[in-house]
A = this chain, B = another copy of it.
Amino acid sequence: MFERSRPAGDRPSWAAARLTWKEPVSHPMSADPTSRRDIPDATVARLPEYLRALSDAADRGVLSVSSEELATAAGVRPTQLRKDLSHLGSYGIRGVGYDVEHLALEISRALGLTQDWPVAIVGMGNLGRALAAYSGFATGGFHVAALFDEDAALVGTRIGDVLVEPMADLPRLVADRGVSIGVIATPAGSAQQVCDTLVRAGVRSVLNFAPLVLSVPGDVDVRRVDLSTELHVLAFHEQRKQLAAGQGQDVGHGVGVGR
């Protein structure tokens, strides 16, 4: 089982805090972020889940985990986990497992979470307000640097500790506050224009909640989150299950935890 020892609750803050892990002397090569390139996209997509599972383990005072324990907590197979981690380096101890704090640091470093990322959110509707108040921003390398809305009635109000600013001030504030990640929580109709404004202001990473595909220059990354898409995929599988049940015939889908 998990090896626990440190009292639960004193969670090490990997992001932002400079870590105290000492590299064993027998491993003279220290990993800087530039030495390990070519991490597959599929692996990058799973690293945040590993980090979250490690954070949970640390909260419970766990010091060391095996690939099997960590994989279970992350909803993947142990071999998948080990292959993924092998792309970062050799941070495990053979015959033992992984040091929770050390592995969390290395994943944080790989993901770029050892620095703090200022995020701007545009669109203060229901979703935008929920995002602005989201506690997940505080933990792990992100903070809400600015909020924007085109509605004059909303400008000047506060959401949490942050003032809602007019769109006209976006270029200046994005530059002044070093915003590098923009979140679009506007209706679909204004999303492309908002995106263009963000890109012109220097933002090259965009998280898009509006239901459309944004056009951006090749050096800009866009990730989209869409509730409708998720529901549609669930409906597809649900339909399969209901058909199979109705016909008393097993389609053999069998999706378990994860995936």
Interface residues of A (CB under 8 A from B): 33-34, 37, 39, 44-45, 47-49, 51-53, 56, 73-75, 110-113, 115, 117, 119, 125-127, 129-131, 133-134, 136, 139-142, 180-181, 204-207, 211-223, 225-243, 247, 251, 253-258
Contacts and interface: CB of A to CB of B under 8 A. Distances in A.
A74 B213 contact: yes
Contact of A213 (B48, B226, B257): B257
A88 to B, nearest CB: 12
B257 A215 contact: yes
24 contacts: A44-B233, A45-B229, A45-B233, A47-B232, A49-B213, A75-B213, A110-B236, A111-B232, A111-B236, A112-B236, A112-B240, A113-B235, A115-B239, A119-B231, A134-B227, A136-B231, A139-B228, A141-B235, A180-B238, A181-B234, A181-B235, A214-B257, A218-B254, A222-B257
Contact of A238 (B51, B117, B218): B117
Given A34-B247, A47-B232, A181-B231, 19 more contacts: A37-B251, A39-B236, A53-B213, A111-B235, A111-B239, A139-B228, A181-B238, A204-B238, A205-B235, A206-B234, A207-B231, A207-B234, A214-B257, A216-B257, A219-B253, A219-B254, A221-B255, A222-B255, A225-B230
Residue of A33, A204, A234 ringed by the most chain B CB atoms within 10 A: A234
A230 B241 contact: no
Main secondary structure of the interface of A (DSSP, over half): mixed
A50 to B, nearest CB: 10
Contacts of A44: 233, 236
Contacts of A207: 227, 230-231, 234
A139 B188 CA distance: 14
Contacts of A223: 230, 233-234
A258 B230 CA distance: 16
A30 to B, nearest CB: 17
A212 B258 CA distance: 10
A258 B229 CA distance: 14
A256 B213 CA distance: 11
A134 B211 CA distance: 12
A123 B52 CA distance: 21
B48 A229 contact: yes
A228 B112 contact: no
B127 A73 contact: no
Residue of A112, A127, A251, A254 ringed by the most chain B CB atoms within 10 A: A112
